[in-house]
Structure 1
Amino acid sequence: MLTKIIAHRGSKGIRPENTLPAFEKAIEEGADGIETDVHMSKDGHLIIMHDETVDRTTNGQGRIMDQTLMQLKTLDAGSYFGYAYLGTQIPTLNEVIQLLIAKKFKGIFNLELKTDKIQYPGIEEKVLAYMNQQELPFKVIYSSFHPQSLVKMYSLNPDIEYASLFKVQTKFARRLYRKRLIRDWHPDIRWVRAHRFFLPHVQLRPWTVNSDDDMRYCFKRRFDGIITDYPGRAVIIRKSIQGG
């Protein structure tokens, strides 16, 4: 089995993150998976963005939860990356899913619920209700830094794959794995490097694996996957180590 290459917020290294151009580029580059993040707007729409606020990646300000979809759609989420992306909008979850379906994407879709800082009321139910309405040609994995979201998601649908995200603290990841609520760990690559002699026997998909050295490290150890800003480069390096 080849180590899966999962595009972090799309091809974040060469496109404005968490936008349709970033996801489209990741597919073109041969990524095995797409990783992205979901929040909820003031009027209950599922919004794709990494931060809780729009400040860093748009020309606007303020928290996502304090703005309606109409307000969020007026913002420019691409020009910070370059003039070529002027006018790129913040996408909704539906827009991303429909893009992947239209592109006949058949890999992994890793959706992170961004509930570690803001617990959006009912976001778990809303995400599952939407996804259950779709005929999806790809595999879905849900992840979160917030263990309560994973517990809630599992209680709503125990037949889906869940993953625990963490930087250094493994207590909740270990507990959820023992209870069989999750199958995978998505740790910081720095944690993986620091614990290289004591890595657990679980499916590992480290983030954010961007340097050639870290990519080679993961491919040589044949981790289940890596989450990277540069899927195109990762595809080339993987082929040199794992073939395929």
Structure 2
Amino acid sequence: MKPLSLINDKPLIWAHRGGRSLAPENTLQALRRGHEAGADGWETDVQLTKDGELIILHDLNLLRTTNAGVHPLFRANRPALPWRFTLEEIKKLSANVFPRRFCPPHYSEQPWKELPETVHPDLRVPTLSEALDITAELGMWINIEIKDLSHDVPEEFSKTVVKKVTDMVHAKGMDTQVIISSFNHDYMRESKIVAPQIFTGILTPHEFTGDPVEAAKAVKADAWHPGLQFLTGEVIQRVREAGIAINPYTVNKPEDVSRLTKWGVTGLVTDCPQSIR
């Protein structure tokens, strides 16, 4: 596939957590569903296991998106923090938690409906390696959000996670298919030092009031990934004029798609790629 270009004639469609309206979030099936729905790439979340393996998981515990709450091993070690368990142990969990409704029903070519019969009954928490392999197979791009492991997690995890991610991306020859992002902007600074060829993006919360251009330039980030709630056309224009891509999250409503596209965003992170395309 051609190298990832963050600035294109029309916004890239990023399937949030693989398109979590289509299949259990952050599973390989969600990735495939997002691809089928027309997404250009998918956004996903990465953190570390006890034995230093990179897994795809949004929350800092395993309770919401797996059956850890009823599994004896994990129930005895609540709140089931992934860094307390090995990859082999985490692979024993089911990640088949069916999605709730995220997308406006009227904003689809076909009515949104649950399809439990098509959800694989043996879904597991994927590794980043598995996710990258399928990304390459499908010719997609991937936005890897590194979860902030600098609080309430052993220090060695925060110190090693960026290098582990960039090394794996490079080893698989996928430098030009990846953008790495995080709310921890120090991670983005480190990423540009150890792998300057890989795109990076700073994540900020909806209530962010700082200067996005200064924040991105401070860590040499290529993109800004803001919450959409308080975005304005003026801010988007200034970010674009600075040569920085802008990919807001989480864009599910048609009026938000129309407004943000008119204002010139370079990408849309959405739970509903089947609708937005």
TM-score, structure 2 normalization: 0.77
Q: Distance in 2 between matches of 1:102 and 1:139?
A: 12
1:225 paired residue number: 267
Aligned residue identity for 1:88: L
SS of alignment partner, residue 151 of structure 1:
helix
Q: Relative to 1, partners in 2 of residues 1:32 and 1:89: Cα closer, same or farther, differing over 3 Å?
A: same
Structure 1 length normalisation: TM-score? 0.87
Alignment partner, residue 188 of structure 1? 227
Mapped to 2, the partners of 1:151 and 1:138 lie a distance apart of 18
* Offset from partner CA, 1:172-202 (integer Å, 9 cap, x none): 844442336112110001021xx34443323
CA contact 1:147–1:172 (8 Å) conserved in 2: no
Cα distance in 2, alignment partners of residues 80 and 125 from structure 1? 33
CA contact (8 A) 2:192 2:220 kept: yes
1:76 to 76, 94, 102: 94
Letter in 2 for 1:93: L
Q: Deviations for 1:103-131, whole angstroms, at most 9, x for unmatched residues? A: 2x1x4311000016556230111111111
**TM superposition shift of 1:98:** 1.0
Read off the aligned partner of 1:18 and give its amino acid letter.
N
% identical equivalent positions: 29
Q: Find the residue that maps to 1:216 and give its secondary structure.
A: helix
1:132 equivalent in structure 2: 170
Aligned residues: 231
- Give the Å deviation of 1:72: 0.5
Residue in 1 that maps onto 2:129? 94
Match of 1:47 in 2: 55
Which residue number corresponds to residue 32 of structure 1? 40
Query: Aligned to 2:230, what secondary structure does the other structure show?
Result: helix
Match of 2:198 in 1: 160
1:57 equivalent among 56, 65, 81: 65
SS in 2 for 1:189: coil
| 5+ long unaligned stretches in structure 2 | 1-8, 70-79, 100-115
- Return 39-48 or 116-125, whichever deviates more: 116-125
Q: CA deviation at 1:87?
A: 2.1
Consecutive unaligned residues in structure 1, runs of 5 or more:
236-244
Distance 1:198 1:100 in 2: 32
Q: What SS class does the counterpart of residue 95 from structure 1 fall into?
A: helix
User: How far apart, in 2, do the equivalents of 1:30 and 1:91 lie?
Assistant: 22
Q: 1:180-234: per-residue Cα shift (whole Å, max 9, x none)?
A: 6112110001021xx3444332321110001111111122223100000011111
Contact preservation (8 Å) 2:144, 2:181: yes
CA distance in 2, matches of 1:129, 1:228: 28
SS in 1 for 2:42: strand
Provide the secondary structure at the position in 2 that maps to 1:210.
coil
Q: Does 1:177 align with 2:249?
A: no
Over 3 Å counting, the alpha-carbon distance change for 1:160 and 1:172 in structure 2 is farther
